[in-house]
Structure 1
Amino acid sequence: MSERVLIAGCGDLGQRVAQLLLARGDEVYALRRHPPALNNSSIHWLCADVARAETLSNLPAGITQLIYLPTPGGREEEAYRSVFVDGLQHMLAALTESPLRRVLFVSSSAVYGEHGDEWVDERTPPAPLGFNGKVLLEAEQWLSTQPVRSVVLRLAGLYGPGRMQLIERLRAGLVHAPRGHWANRIHVDDAASAIAHLVELREPQALYLGVDDTPLPLNELYGSLAALIGAPAVPEGPAPAGLGSKRLSNARLHASGFRVRWPDARAGYAKLLDTQ
């Protein structure tokens, strides 16, 4: 059965999701503050701001699935809160008359803290170190109290087309990496496919981790990429601030029937570099 899906915050990742949903026959509405001037697809664009409830008064009727993945307007706590907490509340209030069956909230692995070499999965208690993880966790917890079925997908670090800043920094010799700190990545196309998969899943669980099959020590990932592009060796340095070390497991997502196309970020980056 086709769905009428609303993607709230439809940037690059959201548009990749939209194309997957359209390909299987869903009707897709996409909301953002500044929709593209030209629409070369079947996406129905909506101009609104989730942080401003009054702009959400004329949403289309009959929305059955909401995918919530807005982008904050800045890296401050207030900006995060306005879209992830206030905006989510505004959106669900605006959809009270719709036959909404499911909300998929795209969160982040930033809700976890410092775990060293330990494996982290959906049963691991969250303990965010930064304001971003704390705000996202607050939004997750609020959503879990609502009467509509909700699914949370906590994504690891995205990479892919248009997300090659790390490569440029490696070329410039601006990167260092500690030993004993784990890196977790997922290709943006795999992230989009995971979202589309969970929207379609008949009996999803409430929480999934979105990450590839191969967590890597940060120095190993950076060293491999530097060698791939002929960049200087990556010197040892302090761990990234506010990001605890953890090895994320995608076992639950795998058990749901999903498989990533790019199980190892080293191969994913190599393919991206081949196509540049």
Structure 2
Amino acid sequence: MLATSLSRRYETVLVAGAGDVGTRLARRLVAEGRQVFALRRGEAAGGDGIAWLRGDLTRPETLAGLPRVDALVFAPAPDARDEAAYRAVFVDGLRHLWEALPAPPERTIFVSSSAVYGEHGGAWVDEDTPPDPPGFNGRVLLEAERWLASRGAGGVSLRLAGLYGPGRTQLFERLREGKAAVPRGRRVYANRIHVDDAAAALAFLLDLDATEAVYVGVDDTPLPIDELYDAIARLLGAPLPSDGPGPTGVGNKRLSNARLRAAGFRCEWPDAREGYASLV
């Protein structure tokens, strides 16, 4: 990762929703010498330099006594994949947390998703592409993005592509078991970002001097799904996946990370074929 426009460093950071990406970010910030608070519903092991807090974003009464922080990274995960659960966490939960903080943070980064985009027939998509979410998840995330933007307090949304990395290898088992299918020869694209690059992008945006309201978080190399899955299958010594329909409810597009790159960010894993190879 390279940074060319960094000037402000936020020394106290709250990571709300410290799951996989959030915890990787928190550890990265602690290693830089910052004071990091991490909020989650369950217990945390501790002993890692992170100040763990317990609270439920859907229950405002559990958020009393939160510390004053310079910056907030909002990266929760809902309990269920339905609209009510998404709304409770991303829309109501963000509002509950914002109201519970002693003062508004100078910068808030909302971890959003490329699910806010729709069908684009394999064309390039970036931050200027009008959102058109095909599913409830994208619609709820877009509503939360807009609520944050309306606060006028340094809000930034990072729309992440599909995450992969350590612990996210279900695709390996599907390929080994011959359960994966791909739309062969139809140029239906996969958009991916390694979890460590996602955490690095969040850390980068925390300190970027002049930010835009929205960034797309994806690697440098959108790939047709059949090319990506075939490459992984060969790494595993698994059979090549059969021909079949593309993924539903996400739309076919090539996500561009040009805005992040122009700001100075570089992925450690710019091509998912290399990133997956590191996991085999």
Using the size of structure 1 for normalisation, the TM-score is 0.96
RMSD: 1.0
Instruction: Find the counterpart in structure 2 of residue 72 from structure 1.
Output: 78
On the 8 A contact 1:64/1:98 being kept in 2, the answer is no
Match of 1:204 among 191, 203, 211: 211
Q: 1:121 touches 1:249 (CA, 8 Å); kept in 2?
A: yes
Gaps of 5+ in 2: 1-8
- Structure 1 segments of 4 or more deviating over 2 A? none
Residue 223 (structure 2) pairs with residue 225 (structure 1) = no
In the alignment, is the contact (CA less than 8 A) between 1:2 and 1:25 conserved in 2?
no
TM superposition shift of 1:180: 2.3
In 1, Cα distance between equivalents of 2:114 and 2:105: 26
Alignment of 1:158-237 (within 5 A): 158-178=163-183, 179-237=186-244
- The superposition leaves residues 211-246 of structure 1 with CA deviations (integer Å, 9 ceiling, x where unpaired) of 000000011111111111111121111121111001
Instruction: Tell me the CA shift for residue 2 of structure 1.
Output: 4.8
CA contact (8 A) 2:10 2:70 kept: no
* Distance in 2 separating the partners of 1:162 and 1:40: 22
User: Whole-Å Cα distance in 2 between the matches of residues 147 and 35 of structure 1?
Assistant: 33
Identical-residue share of aligned pairs (%): 59
In 2: Cα distance, 1:146 partner to 1:252 partner: 23
The equivalent position to 1:152 in structure 2, one of 132, 152, 157, is 157
Output the CA distance in 1 between the equivalents of 2:104 and 2:250: 39
Inter-partner Cα distance in structure 1 for 2:73 and 2:43 = 17
Structure scoring higher RCO (CA < 8 A, sep ≥ 6) equals 2
Cα deviations by residue, 1:86-142 (Å, 9 ceiling, x for unpaired): 0001011112x3251011000000000001121000000000111111110111111
* Cα-to-partner distance string for 1:39-66 (whole Å, 9 max, x where unaligned): 1211001010011111112101x21100
Alignment match, 1:33: 41
Which letter maps to 1:176?
A
Which of 13, 16, 23 lines up with 1:5 in the alignment? 13
Range with greater deviation from structure 2 (232-241 or 148-157): 232-241
Name the residue aligned to 1:90. 96
Q: Does the CA contact (< 8 Å) of 1:9 and 1:69 recur in 2?
A: yes
Consecutive unaligned residues of structure 1, counting only runs of 5 or more, are none
Q: What CA distance in whole angstroms lies between the structure 2 residues aligned with 1:252 and 1:7? A: 24
Cα deviation code 1:3-24 (max 9, x no counterpart): 1100000011111101111122
Aligned length: 270
When normalised by structure 2's length, the TM-score is 0.94
